[in-house]
Amino acid sequence: MVAERQTPPAHVGVFLLLNGAHVAGAVSCLAQLGIPDLVEAAPKSAEELAKQIGADPQALYRLMRATACVGVLSEDPDGKFSQTPMSTVLRTNATPSLRALAIMAGREWHGRGWSHLEYCVRAGKQALEQIYGAPVFEYLKQNPAEGQIFNDAMTQISMIDSPAVADAYNFDGIHSIVDIAGGHGLLLATILKRNPQLRGTLYDMPHVIEGAKNGPLKPVMERCTLTSGDMFSSVPAGADAYIMKHIIHDWQDDRCVQILKACRKGVNSGGRLLVVDNVIQPGNDFSPSKFLDLQMLIFPSGCERTEKQFRDLFAAAGWKLSRITPTVAADSIVEGVPA
């Protein structure tokens, strides 16, 4: 006779959920200390590692013991810690690497933002302007070290989802594409390398474009133009497609409509709009996108959207949502055509 599995009491489930903050803090600290890099070659004890990084051996052991119990490192019988698949992803040289994202999750500004979630929910406003007197992107600009961690985190995420976008979408029939706010051009470079018929334009702020000159686009620069400007007022005209990844979710609807109207004005006849973002599904199933939506509320004051919200947003800017293509990453490609 097989015993029935008992559902744990509700308070046990809540304890487990609240412990998520402790787990995230420990993993972030482990990444910041660089421990996954230091055990890449061979297992090491806390005493060995403490000498390398200048830490208290017992405190470091306690940290690694905690992360090992969630699969980030593994403690051997001899007391040494070795690599696991999840700690490998936190190495600097991993492909993909999530080290910068893990570090960012433990930074003071990030933690203070989440501690102000109640304010954000009550006011419907983002947190950092309330805390630091500056919205998130201005705060990161004023604090270059934090801005570098953020930029590194976004680059690492892009290394995961850029190939997923290039694999999922058929770019046949498109001969020119503009990547709006495309950073240093990793997504555009990935698309151009796989579609030799395409010419691309990277469009971003002047200081970002300056940094893109020696970035991922360098091998395909003969098919690429770098242009700077304000995406809320205009975009380079005359393209078959406009693509933007993780841009629309940063902004509230009125600002998004400005960007999408600029794309609608510039697109060639029969052209397309490609918005790469999470699409929130109905129902109560677990979805990271629903928590990413809170991240957008807390920091840039944007949101993740449902299919209906995308459809309405597109219509307000002169586009018609034509299809949604999922990728192997969490994102989908929301396609629009001129209405």
Active site residues: 249
Pairing assessment for the beta strands 239-245 and 199-204 based on DSSP bridges? unpaired
HSE value, Cβ hemisphere, 13 Å, CA-based, for 201: 19
Residue 81 burial (10 A CB sphere; 0-12, 13-18, 19+): buried
SS (HEC) of 157-186: HHHHHHHHHHHHCCCCCCCEEEEECCCCCH
Q: What does residue 298 show for φ and ψ, rounded to 5 degrees?
A: -70, -40
Burial of residue 276 (number of CB atoms within 10 Å: 0-12, 13-18, 19+) = buried
> Exposed, middle or buried, 34 (CB in 10 Å: 0-12/13-18/19+)?
middle
